[in-house]
Structure 1
């Protein structure tokens, strides 16, 4: 027997009735089923969107941002825990500390593509509940393992790996929200979703030093346990108020189409430089501060991730006006200058100059993240010949976004591992910083040569 259709009178409540009428705007009706499934969703239908669609989409976006915010926070929590481990009795080498910072990014990057397919498979609401509750494993594990130094590096590394599930949340959250919004409003919605998630990195680096220092001594286990009520709240709100869309379907072919385009790999390489730098430097920054300026409180480290997160939507706005390639080239230029200034600040042992250099660097990485995401659809739109070609290119752009997002996140692993190698070989991180400057130069030149050069494939087209 078929399940009777019901309509949502208010968030979290359902009553048996006829399909939800979209009113005088003659939009197609929306119907819901138990489990908060929605049938007939079509954000491109102006009547449906104006009458009921927009409010439903906004509600799901807000709750998605909250869940993704926690995902990023859990993903980044080891960045602020690692510098505190010595204070609770753990004895670790420099190489081991950078491994603990790097592995969450490695796992998170690997999970991003499978997490994208989870939304159509389970439903956006259902997967938000599942992915939120999965955050309890690494957070409770963190709260347990840091209480006993005898657990050793192996146990710490295992729990740090589990924190990678927070990095996967970004991909599923972005995929879910993309189904809720019409094309003309999708960019803004996804930008808000991404920025809200990125802010989780800054928030955890600000909050953990405060929470663990309440009372006498350092209670590092609170860095994990503090998430438990927040995660439960996110899962409850998703269960109560979010929706599943029955017409949200995955398109594995989009990845296949994207892999055949050289631009997917070029853009992914460029995104390692922007997003990978953001994640990598955000993860390593507290440890760098602790190692280079031990008298400075590491709570200031949150400022880097904060300005980088806030600059992301700004980068997208500038890219809309000036072109994504131009903004990306400028971002790499500023990032290179920021790193060079940081090197000289280290040599002068100037904390103020070091902090200022990194804030400039973080701002540029955030802007670059926004501009690269703007470049992707522009690149794949270029040279459309007919409607079939347009649809193929839309599919390829969607696949490219997923691939670039996953590959870019691997930068969060490469940056701290580069610092570890540099420290082992030369005794400091300056060699790694010079290598990073070289990569920025190559990435900036690549962006110019492929997407900005007038004699290139795109000519005078603004990408």
Structure 2
């Protein structure tokens, strides 16, 4: 055990953690890991809801707010921008402070954007103030990175696809849930009561922090050395996987934030009519994310990711066609399919990350390094990679909202934006095929995560 691990003591610090040891896993590991997973999902779920808060707040912003459609697209882009940048420090905070401890802190930090939103959400507030407060909700985006890094350390490789998919999917559901809450508020209280949404979420933030304090654990063996970040940014697979995650998760979060505005501006839906539809895509995309991880566990991450991007390109083609003929039903079919495949791809791409570093760890063992040291190296590297890849991937949401903003400004329709997305998905499936499905075999083996025996 390292000196750092030995200094970490107390009732909520676990000193020994060997999930790849089957006997240890069956004896105590599974129960402890699953308990931490449950409450990690709860905290991340609330984090995602707050992160996507302004995707529903803009539905309450009528003409008396004096913000045009382009301004609203820019407003909902701010959380993705801030959320992307805070993901990296959030990732390393888990190893520095402990997964349980950081979950408590990161949950309580959500009170800042929530209380600020309740204070400023009324006509007459300046646009710059709205931008700053919307940016604060990016804290919720950071919760994803720290949560995924923490759960990655709890589970053995053969279970990571399902565990990471479930953790992320449960968090992602925070997007449609807050949209459903907004729909209920608009339906029953009217479009001039946005503070009611926050009145429901502020107590839930406190509950999530309390549950983390009572039921989660810190892993003492989990640590970051000063060279981990430098090593991970020099690793080519970090950037290759970042591109793929821009295509999958960037699409999911970008479309989640923009869906309601697209319906209002391209098809003339009212806020209530838009709210009745916006939750469907994010809900389905969230529910299917664990399936993406499970399929990747079974068939290999690169195969599922490749075909997923092919289908996303096909769905985008349907959306472009629907836009050209101005058919809302066809548009909804294509757009919701995009959500579903984006969610599936989120699970499969994240499964590829620990597999890549596990394959490299096997090479280190073959070179004479001990299995324990190689496993610790793999956990550190994959945890850091999850943070960096998650941060870059979330920027995809920013790109999508800016593309919509420019598209509606210049063409008064979202069609040019969708054409650019189609090109992006083509790049992603070609990249997946060229690097992870075609030769060299080593890259393919890494993406397929070789230690999947018993799945």
Q: Same fold (TM over 0.5)?
A: yes
Change over 3 Å in CA distance of 1:67–1:257 after alignment to 2: same
Corresponding position of 1:231: 205
Corresponding position of 1:116: 91
Per the normalisation by structure 2, the TM-score is 0.87
1:215-272 Cα offsets, whole Å, 9 max, x none, are 4663111222221110111112222222233333224433322222222211111211
Unaligned residue ranges in structure 1 (runs of 5+):
1-30
Corresponding position of 1:134: 109
Contact 2:164–2:347 at 8 Å: present in 1 too?
Answer: no
Among candidates 64, 67, 75, match of residue 43 of structure 2: 67
Among candidates 365, 371, 381, match of residue 387 of structure 1: 365
Q: In the aligned structure 2, how far is the partner of 1:265 from the partner of 1:437? A: 21
Q: How much does 1:83 deviate?
A: 2.5
Q: In the aligned structure 2, how far is the partner of 1:252 from the partner of 1:212? A: 49
Q: In the aligned structure 2, how far is the partner of 1:396 from the partner of 1:363? A: 29
Q: How much does 1:400 deviate?
A: 2.7
Q: Relative contact order, CA 8 A, sep 6+: which one is greater?
A: 2
Change over 3 Å in CA distance of 1:346–1:298 after alignment to 2: farther
Matching of residue 284 in structure 1 with residue 258 in structure 2: yes
Q: In the aligned structure 1, how far is the partner of 2:288 from the partner of 2:101? A: 31
Contact 1:289–1:298 at 8 Å: present in 2 too?
Answer: no
Corresponding position of 2:389: 404
Query: How many aligned residue pairs are there?
Result: 430
Among candidates 179, 182, 195, match of residue 208 of structure 1: 182
1:87-121 Cα offsets, whole Å, 9 max, x none, are 6x211122210111111011111011100111222
Corresponding position of 2:76: 101
Change over 3 Å in CA distance of 1:395–1:231 after alignment to 2: closer
The structure 1 segments of at least 4 consecutive aligned residues displaced by more than 6 Å after TM superposition are 459-462
Q: In the aligned structure 2, how far is the partner of 1:181 from the partner of 1:265? A: 24
Change over 3 Å in CA distance of 1:100–1:460 after alignment to 2: closer
1:268-289 Cα offsets, whole Å, 9 max, x none, are 1121111111111111011111
My pick for the range that moved more, 76-85 or 162-171, is 76-85
Among candidates 385, 388, 407, match of residue 422 of structure 1: 407
Q: How does 1:3-42 map to 2 (within 5 A)?
A: 33=10, 36-42=12-18
Q: In the aligned structure 2, how far is the partner of 1:216 from the partner of 1:83? A: 11
Among candidates 221, 228, 232, match of residue 247 of structure 1: 221
1:44-99 Cα offsets, whole Å, 9 max, x none, are 55555444443333222211110100000100111122132116x21112221011
Q: How does 1:153-192 map to 2 (within 5 A)?
A: 153-192=127-166
Q: In the aligned structure 1, how far is the partner of 2:214 from the partner of 2:77? A: 35
Larger helix percent: 2
Contact 1:105–1:410 at 8 Å: present in 2 too?
Answer: yes
Q: In the aligned structure 1, how far is the partner of 2:180 from the partner of 2:287? A: 15
Query: SS of 1:33's equivalent?
Result: coil
Corresponding position of 2:280: 303
Q: How much does 1:393 deviate?
A: 6.0
Unaligned residue ranges in structure 2 (runs of 5+):
1-7, 449-455
Corresponding position of 2:348: 371
Corresponding position of 2:240: 266
Q: In the aligned structure 2, how far is the partner of 1:70 from the partner of 1:420? A: 28
Matching of residue 325 in structure 1 with residue 302 in structure 2: yes
Q: How much does 1:381 deviate?
A: 4.9
Contact 2:95–2:223 at 8 Å: present in 1 too?
Answer: yes
Q: How much does 1:364 deviate?
A: 1.0
Q: How much does 1:437 deviate?
A: 0.8
Contact 2:302–2:444 at 8 Å: present in 1 too?
Answer: no
Query: SS of 1:214's equivalent?
Result: helix
Q: In the aligned structure 1, how far is the partner of 2:150 from the partner of 2:378? A: 21
Query: SS of 1:150's equivalent?
Result: coil
1:155-211 Cα offsets, whole Å, 9 max, x none, are 111110000000000111122223333444343322211111111111111121213
Q: In the aligned structure 2, how far is the partner of 1:37 from the partner of 1:325? A: 36
Question: Please, what is the CA RMSD of the aligned residues?
Answer: 2.5
Matching of residue 356 in structure 1 with residue 333 in structure 2: yes
Contact 1:83–1:290 at 8 Å: present in 2 too?
Answer: no
Per the normalisation by structure 1, the TM-score is 0.86
Contact 2:153–2:379 at 8 Å: present in 1 too?
Answer: no
Corresponding position of 1:316: 293
Change over 3 Å in CA distance of 1:246–1:382 after alignment to 2: closer
